[in-house]
Amino acid sequence: MNDASKKSLSEKVAVSETAAGAILTVDLGAIRENYRRLKARLGGVGCASVVKADGYGLGGPQVAAALAAEGCDIFFVAHLVEGVLLRQALGSRPAIYVLNGIQPGAESEAVEAELGAVINSVGQLAAWRAAAQRAGRTLKAAIQVDSGMSRLGMAAAEVEAVAADPQAFDGIDVTFVMSHLARADEPKHPANEQQRLEFERLRRMLPKAPASLANSSGIFLGQPFHYDLARPGAALYGINPMPAEENPMLPVVRLQAKVIQTRSLDRGAGVGYGHIFHVTEPLAAATISLGYADGWHRRAASA
């Protein structure tokens, strides 16, 4: 077997649209417009961008570059590896924060890539403080508190513990205190105000720093939730931040697939694996060039 035949089929190959079975088009201009729309709702409040999960599956570096061209200079990713790749793509200028925090043993890689850590626990705080000591310089961090979502962030008892420790933040530049809203897409739900008040209580115990609470839906809750920095994610990619209302965001993707065969089916014919669909009256059927490998979910086989 020669080297050419060993090439993985998953490697990127330049092909024409005619040769492709299906095409997903990402409209970076629409993403930029969505950023502008969100920013306009914030007045003078800062607007970061969440580009985790490879930019919600649309290409993290490409999406981030488009948003940077729109003026965004703060980005959030989920994992360290995403932050490293984003740093390589965007250069040294923007701030990049890792939402899940830096996993134990990976602190030096984060320091080398000039990434900011989102601190979600006392353990992560201690590890980042130790990393700053080893690096011999101050490291940036956003402190996340759990205001009621029960996912990531320091619990109230942890916040109280670090507040009582005068050395807790030695070597750490606290750039933001942040939290995350659980029900912001339900604007009248009392949990939103409950979380905001708990966020206020917890952040007062921590070093004075800009505050960040609003996600995509939180931006639409109004000025009391905006604070100093909003962190939209889903809305940038066209997902409706207020499902009960008309979507104010532009769609950013278009999926096109070719019809590769058509046939006429009579009453009683079975279609697909397990004959998941049965024909009840004569109809025309088309098979398109799109399947599980393209991201079509197996559970949607009967759709």
| Active-site residue flag, 292 | no
217 residue type, one letter: S
- What is the number of alpha carbons within 13 Å of residue 54 lying toward its C-beta? 3
Q: What angle do CA 271, 276, 279 make, to 5 degrees?
A: 50
User: Other CB atoms closer than 10 Å to residue 267's CB: what's the count?
Assistant: 10
Out of 12, 188, 208, 273, pick the active-site residue: 273
Topology, domain 23-237:
TIM Barrel (3.20.20)
Out of 52, 56, 97, 140, pick the active-site residue: 52
| Active-site residue flag, 52 | yes
Indicate the pTM of the whole model.
Answer: 0.90
- Token pair listed for 214: 């609003």
Residue extents of the structural domains in the chain: 23-237, 258-303
What was the pLDDT predicted at 249? Answer: 98
- Token pair listed for 4: 């050419």
The DSSP H or E segment spanning 195 is: helix 190-203
196 residue type, one letter: R
Closest CA to 139 of 115, 110, 103, 172: 172
For residue 106, with 0-12 CB atoms within 10 Å meaning exposed, 13-18 middle and 19 or more buried, which class applies?
middle
What was the pLDDT predicted at 292? Answer: 85
Residuewise pLDDT in 10s, the chain (303 residues): 454 444 444 456 677 778 888 888 999 999 999 999 999 999 999 999 999 999 999 999 999 999 999 999 999 999 999 999 999 999 999 999 999 999 999 999 999 999 999 999 999 999 999 999 999 999 999 999 999 999 999 999 999 999 999 999 999 999 999 999 999 999 999 999 999 999 999 999 999 999 999 999 999 999 999 999 999 999 999 999 999 999 999 999 999 999 999 999 999 999 988 998 999 999 999 999 998 888 888 888 776
CA distance readout (Å), 300 to 251, 292, 295: 22, 10, 11
